[in-house]
């Protein structure tokens, strides 16, 4: 297929029970804040208001699961200590062989810990659309080179539960067209697509999974993305529609390849009200997150292991509930 041609319509895949649902289309709305995207009335699926339509946040790339899945957390220099050390201590320790950390500088200390599973993208460390898309482009190309079956991207403020992710993906075949994650909005967005000979633009409407909650793409679908995503084409595609990395992924998959995003409530970002996740339900999610310094109380409600002062993100507490034999987990739960 030549670059720019629309790919074939993909066969829809049946979602795992209660884990994913197809999103419904909503009417066109006003211009969005991010790039060339347009959106309907502002709002997230959970009723709260997002600061932007498409993700423009710190990037952490991670690869897949068991032997044929790779997690790809994305990060940046300033968060190596405050965020990455926590991930290495918790969930990455359970999926080290399948996790590849994508960052924007050569950190000797991190290199000693992660070895060749640390990928220096040589992308800019500034927080711009171009820098984010540069990193996602490297992630995508490295995945294609790897021969792995699933591409799962998360951020450096995500906790990943490898068991629940494996359970979710086991409902599909990697050769199917699968794009699963969680939108941060309750409606699709719209982007300018092609410029006509008379100067007018055609638009395309699509859903995208927010990178801040993580998402997964099957190898079969990733290969079909190649004309618009491989060997630097991802960057040029993003520039053409003026969208950040996660929105561009949605544009290629839904807008060009016409493969529908499978909406899953099991992925979570810092944009949500995380305090609504409580007790045992926390341990059944695929990804978790926590609020930024201005909203530091936005964390999942889980107790019995560490106090908030010792574990402000709640990631250590979640990890010890999932893996109680971890050497640094307390032998007795807090009363």
Angle among Cα 270, 154, 264 to the nearest 5 degrees reads 70
- Which one-letter DSSP state was computed for residue 301? B
| CA gap 312, 240 in Å, rounded | 40
Q: Which residues contact 328 (CB under 8 A, 6 or more apart)?
A: 89
The residue whose two tokens read 């250590």 is 316
* Residues assigned a catalytic role: 246
Closest CA to 180 of 188, 171, 189: 171
User: If DSSP codes are grouped into helix, strand and coil, which group holds residue 188?
Assistant: coil
CA distance readout (Å), 312 to 82, 158, 309, 331: 12, 14, 6, 20
207: exposed, middle or buried (Cβ count in 10 Å: 0-12, 13-18, 19+): buried
**DSSP 8-state assignment for residue 68:** T
Q: Which two tokens stand for residue 298?
A: 């936005």
Dist. CA 265–CA 191, nearest whole Å = 25
Chain position carrying tokens 């679908």: 221
- The encoded tokens of residue 222 equal 């990733």
Residue 216 DSSP SS3: strand
């Amino acid at each position: 297929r030549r670059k720019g041609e629309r790919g074939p319509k993909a066969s829809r895949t049946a979602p795992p029970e209660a884990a994913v649902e197809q999103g419904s289309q909503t009417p066109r709305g006003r211009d969005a804040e991010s790039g060339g995207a347009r959106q309907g009335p502002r709002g997230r699926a959970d009723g709260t208001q997002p600061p932007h339509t498409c993700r423009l946040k710190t990037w952490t790339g991670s690869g897949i699961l068991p032997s044929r899945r790779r997690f790809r957390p994305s990060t940046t220099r300033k968060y190596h200590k405050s965020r990455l050390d926590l991930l290495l201590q918790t969930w990455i320790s359970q999926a080290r062989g399948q996790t590849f950390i994508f960052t924007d500088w050569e950190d000797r200390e991190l290199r000693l810990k992660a070895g060749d599973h640390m990928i220096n993208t040589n992308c800019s460390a500034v927080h711009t659309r171009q820098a984010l898309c540069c990193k996602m482009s490297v992630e995508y190309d490295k995945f294609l080179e790897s021969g792995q079956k699933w591409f799962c991207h998360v951020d450096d403020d995500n906790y990943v539960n490898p068991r629940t992710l494996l359970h979710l993906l086991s409902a599909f075949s990697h050769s199917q067209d699968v794009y699963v994650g969680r939108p941060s909005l309750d409606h699709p967005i719209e982007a300018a697509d092609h410029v006509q000979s008379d100067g007018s633009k055609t638009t395309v409407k699509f859903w995208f999974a927010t990178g801040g909650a993580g998402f997964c793409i099957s190898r079969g679908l990733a290969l079909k993305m190649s004309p618009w995503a491989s060997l630097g084409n991802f960057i040029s595609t993003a520039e053409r529609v003026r969208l950040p990395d996660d929105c561009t992924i949605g544009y290629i998959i839904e807008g060009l390849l016409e493969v529908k995003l499978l909406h899953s409530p099991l992925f979570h970002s810092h944009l949500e009200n995380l305090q609504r996740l409580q007790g045992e339900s926390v341990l059944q999610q695929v990804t978790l997150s926590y609020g930024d310094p201005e909203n530091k109380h936005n964390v999942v409600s889980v107790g019995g292991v560490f106090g908030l002062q010792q574990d402000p993100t709640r990631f250590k507490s979640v990890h010890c509930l999932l893996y109680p034999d971890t050497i640094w987990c307390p032998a007795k739960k807090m009363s």
